[in-house]
Structure 1
Amino acid sequence: MSDDVVGRLAKGSLLSRLFGSGRAPLRLVAVPRDHVLGDRARGDALVAGRHVLGSEELALADIDFAAIGTRDPLAREMQSFAWLRDLAASASRDKGARMAEAIAGRWLIAHGTRVDEAWAPELWGERILFWTAYAPYILSSRDAGYRSALLNTLARGAKHLDAGADKAPPGLPRITAWAGALTASLTLQGAQKRLSHSESGLMRALAAAQFEDGGLMSRSPQEQMLLVDRLGLVRAAYFAAKQTLPDALENAAAAALAALHGVTMGDNALSSWQGGNPGDPARLTALVDGCGLRARPLRQARGWGYQRLSALGTIIVVDAAPPPPPRMAATGCASTLAIEMSDGAQRLVVNCGGPGPVPTELPPELVEALRTTAAHSTLVLDDTNSTAILSDGSLGKGVADVVIERSEDNDCSRIEASHDGYVKGFGLIHQRRLSLGNDGKEVRGEDRLTPKGRRKIREAAPFAIRFHLAPGVEATVTADGMGAILRSSGAPPWNFRCRGAMLQVEDSLFIDGHGRPVPTLQLVVVGEVSAIGGEIAWQFRRSS
């Protein structure tokens, strides 16, 4: 622990203004235990005086919470105190507490005496979750004035949430706000009378943002991971307070984890949907291991929308739903009927992905391009998005209806899905059929374009079926131009074949778990389709 950093944080008796408030002392009646291990590397950076998130970092020695604001992701995480988990992974309680209390004192001086932007309901919700779970790190001080100031501010924050949690944006922010309010009512002295009110608020927020199958309506795997984390911390608060967890809340938490498992690939990282990337597999593993929940991967998700096929190490995830509504996801993607595929820990077919919620050095025009249909492993008609992406970044008209049929037998698992995103512009339905053999060695696919509606193509329209390849997967086109051999260091070779169009190999890119672009390749099956439609068959087959 850097004594210089702590010394500068506490320089000039910064906490003196908080002493002698005269308020009755409060205490926590229960301290939840966070079983999720933090990121040791990020914790080491905190100990060294740097808060790092993605491509940005913040010096802690002279941190001014009023100056950093709450607008960017780095500042919001600093204001939320979620970094306490990482600090605890790197520093002992004694050393970590010295730094955490010095930073908390700075926060109290900047924001503890007035309601401002740092009092946003979702920020207070997250702050309460981590202040209570890491109370030993922020309430070990012998200074009664500091402890009283922090606990009284926590109590004011809880009352602020009781009245204003529903003012948080719908979805994960509102869930987070109510999760904090509920945790406060379980752990703070005298707050138990608000327990029923907070439980009702959280269940209401979940009902408005979570499909019955457990997935968030934002359809974001990275937000889904945060949902599991929030509910895991709430569960820990119930156990610490020796209160009975409502069955409805336990069921919602288990369903959330099942949905998260459903979009996890063979390398224990996330598949790339809705502008996200795989993230850190170690972080996901720590969350799953520590959240206190257990669930099997969700395979047939109607609301969440991600269908999962798996057999002997081969995993396929399909986006079989319309994009998320704008009120739940400001920057959704036109990815309907795209797939990702892995063989064991080796990813084979991916989507290009995006920066996710962390700061990035990716240029804005690239981030926008990563939302297009062409950045996903699916069919693109006349270089047109299946759902329009408007100039202001919002989603326009396109896919409104997705029809799905699924079957299983002794030979394989099958999915047949179609979307109407190209009906208005081209008079064509896109239908994708997939089957995965039960030995995990063969994936058969077929993309069909069938006429519907009054709109007709006058002559012909070009199409491209794209299969973006994971970094490290090499593609060698066969002599007849109708196939390719895919080689990687992490799996046996796979043979790709197509029928009804020609195959090209083009450059692509993939956004890795740190939000960085990595050059890679893509298989592109190209051709033209007339008003009567057409079909293209393709196959992936493992060599051994």
Structure 2
Amino acid sequence: MAYRRRLSTLILGRFARNLKARVSAGSVAVSRLWPGRTDRLIIAPHDLRTADATRAAEIYAGRFVFAGKIVTCHGRSIFDYAPPSEDWEVALLGFGWLRHLRAADTAITRANARSLVDDWISNMSHNRPVGRRPDVLARRVISLLSQAPLVLSDTDGRFYRRYLRGLTREIRSLRYITPDIADGVPRLQVLIALCYASLCLANQARHIRATSRKLSDELARQILADGGHISRNPGALIELMIDLLPLRQTFAARNIAPPPALLNAIDRMMPMLRFFRHGDGSFALFNGMSSAPSDLLATLLAYDDTHGNPMASMPHTGYQRLDAGTMTVIVDTGPPPPPSVSDEAHAGCLSFEMSVAGCRVVVNCGIPATGRENWRSFARGTAAHSTVTYRETSSCQFVERTSMKRFLNGAPIVSGPARVEHYREVGAEGVMLNMSHDGYQSRFGVTHRRVLMVAADGSRLDGEHTVAPAPGARLKGSDTGYAVRFHLHPAVKASRLTDARGVMLVLPNREVWTFEALDDKVELEDSVFLAGNDGPRRTVQIVIRQDARHTASVRWSFVRSPSSPAATVARRSARNQAELPL
């Protein structure tokens, strides 16, 4: 019933968006013929994204490198070339690369920027479907506004007017396609772009109040009380903060008080940036999070006035953090997000990541920053997360039919854990987190319970998994196998010990840790780390397989070893010999 109810809600919502889009289609066509009046640019917002002046030389030479793909134009317009990938086209048509030309700040790069922008706004045949996507259009509007000083420097009045007409046409199109915007981050990005437009251009002041109100309402709905995003994707915070912080500055530059909802949202989101960070500065990989540039995170955190320690619990977004000594453990303790914003969500309930002394040890596989379609199905499954997989299935169910995914423009979650419980207890020996979820209960009759215990000095992490029927229920089916998975970061060197009950781990800082499961056999299997800056990387995972009908619980531990790798192996061998029966 829950599956059908969620699917019906998604279908009805898509029908409503399609209807609104058709009604507004005529208005979009009129907006292109009558773009409106604006005679000058008042202010250009600041772009916080990192710029690389060396990229300007590549663009001037006709080499456009985006999303791992290269297109070289030989005297032709770059907009006439068939894109090698959708990610490449999104980057090109978002015009964010203008910041690299501005970083070079030479007469040649300014002329190059004008030529490329003029090519775009003067030829409507360039306007391909990807370029009309609301999120791409919003990014292009923000880029053209923020990089206007580069494009309009040393130009004549004729080009200035043509630039403003083209920009105004884009803004009016963005206003009219609002009903067809997907929920979540794209909707906020469009409203942010419209707020920028109303603040930065003359004769747009009448839109400031209306767009500010819409943005405030959407921020109040999408940014939860603890500062997390409704999609539960940590990456959404970065995408939004990189635009919201300059927007706050733009309001101040116009001597207009920023909406209270904007200020409150930024104040709530900033602690969440610290919450998801590991010791090496990377973000935990949950619900669609990929690699995050360290320089971008450093830029955002420079705006944090509190500089406090990360909070321990984010109950509204559904995450817990355990810190002890040099150890950090971040755990997903929340149900799936609402279906309308679950296109990127993963089936990783009760999964965790662990880092020690700035080295990531246990991770989730994550998802690549580009080329996601090749990995999306695997990356969203429970098996790509450091948690329990029952009968090699995921704790969530996704829309699978190709026709339905095409209609919904994605594969949202239609069923998953409905009841996720967690209890945190702090004692003299450390912090214990007791959790459970019912994602497998309706299909297989089992509940997954997990207990994590972090020692007070951060020297060990103990855990226990229980896969058993709920009270009054029974196991369904003859296959009752489950697997406990721990995906390791590629920088960790893992070696299974001779007793097959443990794994020795050597971290990049040469610390030695031992994974132990004395009651169960441990396997090292292939895995893949998808969120690397250089693309997917091969790694390994620790796997413990059991049968819920015979062994309902599995206990394990990660323990820091005070000795070298060789001494650790010798110590365990001696202990195993001592335990042999006479």
- Alignment of 1:426 with 2:438, yes or no, is no
Deviation readout 1:215-242 (Å, 9 max, x if unpaired): 2222223332111112123123223223
> Measured at CA, do residues 414 and 325 of structure 1 come closer, stay the same or move farther in structure 2, by a change above 3 Å?
same
In structure 2, the partner of 1:353 is 366
Deviation readout 1:483-504 (Å, 9 max, x if unpaired): 2221122251112112442211
Whole-angstrom distance in 1 between the partners of 2:85 and 2:341 = 19
Q: What 5-or-longer segments of structure 2 have no aligned partner?
A: 1-33, 402-410, 563-582
In structure 2, the partner of 1:77 is 91
Deviation at 1:57, TM superposition (A): 2.6
**Is the Cα–Cα contact under 8 Å of residues 485 and 494 in structure 1 kept in the other structure?**
yes
Whole-angstrom distance in 2 between the partners of 1:402 and 1:349 = 22
Deviation at 1:368, TM superposition (A): 1.7
Whole-angstrom distance in 2 between the partners of 1:40 and 1:535 = 56
Whole-angstrom distance in 1 between the partners of 2:84 and 2:232 = 25
**Is the Cα–Cα contact under 8 Å of residues 353 and 510 in structure 1 kept in the other structure?**
yes
Whole-angstrom distance in 2 between the partners of 1:468 and 1:295 = 30
In structure 2, the partner of 1:493 is 512
Q: 1:506 aligns with which of 525, 530, 534?
A: 525
Deviation at 1:71, TM superposition (A): 8.6
- Alignment of 1:524 with 2:538, yes or no, is no
- 1:431-446 paired onto structure 2 within 5 Å: 431-446=449-464
- Alignment of 1:373 with 2:382, yes or no, is yes
- Helix, strand or coil: the match of 2:547? strand
- Helix, strand or coil: the match of 1:370? helix
**Is the Cα–Cα contact under 8 Å of residues 42 and 202 in structure 2 kept in the other structure?**
yes
Instruction: Tell me how many residue pairs correspond in the alignment.
Output: 518
TM (normalized to structure 1)? Answer: 0.86
In structure 1, the partner of 2:490 is 471
Amino acid at match of 1:306: Y
171-180 or 328-337, larger mean C-alpha shift:
328-337
288-297 or 145-154, larger mean C-alpha shift:
288-297
In structure 2, the partner of 1:99 is 112
- Helix, strand or coil: the match of 1:405? strand
Whole-angstrom distance in 2 between the partners of 1:22 and 1:520 = 53
In structure 1, the partner of 2:215 is 202
21-30 or 150-159, larger mean C-alpha shift:
21-30
> Measured at CA, do residues 39 and 193 of structure 1 come closer, stay the same or move farther in structure 2, by a change above 3 Å?
same
Deviation at 1:148, TM superposition (A): 0.9
- Helix, strand or coil: the match of 2:314? coil
Whole-angstrom distance in 2 between the partners of 1:163 and 1:296 = 44
Whole-angstrom distance in 2 between the partners of 1:32 and 1:43 = 21
Deviation at 1:423, TM superposition (A): 0.6
> Measured at CA, do residues 398 and 35 of structure 1 come closer, stay the same or move farther in structure 2, by a change above 3 Å?
closer
* Identical positions, percent: 28
- Helix, strand or coil: the match of 2:554? strand
Amino acid at match of 1:381: Y
Q: What root-mean-square deviation, in Å, do the aligned CA atoms of Structure 1 and Structure 2 show? A: 3.1
> Measured at CA, do residues 290 and 428 of structure 1 come closer, stay the same or move farther in structure 2, by a change above 3 Å?
same
- Alignment of 1:483 with 2:496, yes or no, is no
Deviation readout 1:359-417 (Å, 9 max, x if unpaired): 36xx83x4422222111111111212111244334434332221122233454233222
TM (normalized to structure 2)? Answer: 0.81
Whole-angstrom distance in 2 between the partners of 1:226 and 1:58 = 26
- Alignment of 1:408 with 2:422, yes or no, is no
Q: What 5-or-longer segments of structure 1 have no aligned partner?
A: 1-20
Deviation at 1:345, TM superposition (A): 2.5
Deviation readout 1:118-141 (Å, 9 max, x if unpaired): 344333322232222222112114
Deviation at 1:442, TM superposition (A): 1.7
> Measured at CA, do residues 102 and 495 of structure 1 come closer, stay the same or move farther in structure 2, by a change above 3 Å?
same
Deviation at 1:76, TM superposition (A): 1.8
Q: 2:243 aligns with which of 230, 241, 245?
A: 230
Whole-angstrom distance in 2 between the partners of 1:79 and 1:414 = 49
Q: Which has the higher helix share?
A: 2
Whole-angstrom distance in 2 between the partners of 1:47 and 1:211 = 44
261-270 or 43-52, larger mean C-alpha shift:
43-52
Whole-angstrom distance in 1 between the partners of 2:424 and 2:70 = 47
**Is the Cα–Cα contact under 8 Å of residues 69 and 75 in structure 1 kept in the other structure?**
yes
Whole-angstrom distance in 2 between the partners of 1:367 and 1:168 = 22
**Is the Cα–Cα contact under 8 Å of residues 497 and 540 in structure 1 kept in the other structure?**
yes
> Measured at CA, do residues 195 and 458 of structure 1 come closer, stay the same or move farther in structure 2, by a change above 3 Å?
closer
> Measured at CA, do residues 309 and 491 of structure 1 come closer, stay the same or move farther in structure 2, by a change above 3 Å?
farther
In structure 1, the partner of 2:466 is 448
**Is the Cα–Cα contact under 8 Å of residues 254 and 293 in structure 1 kept in the other structure?**
no
- Alignment of 1:386 with 2:395, yes or no, is yes
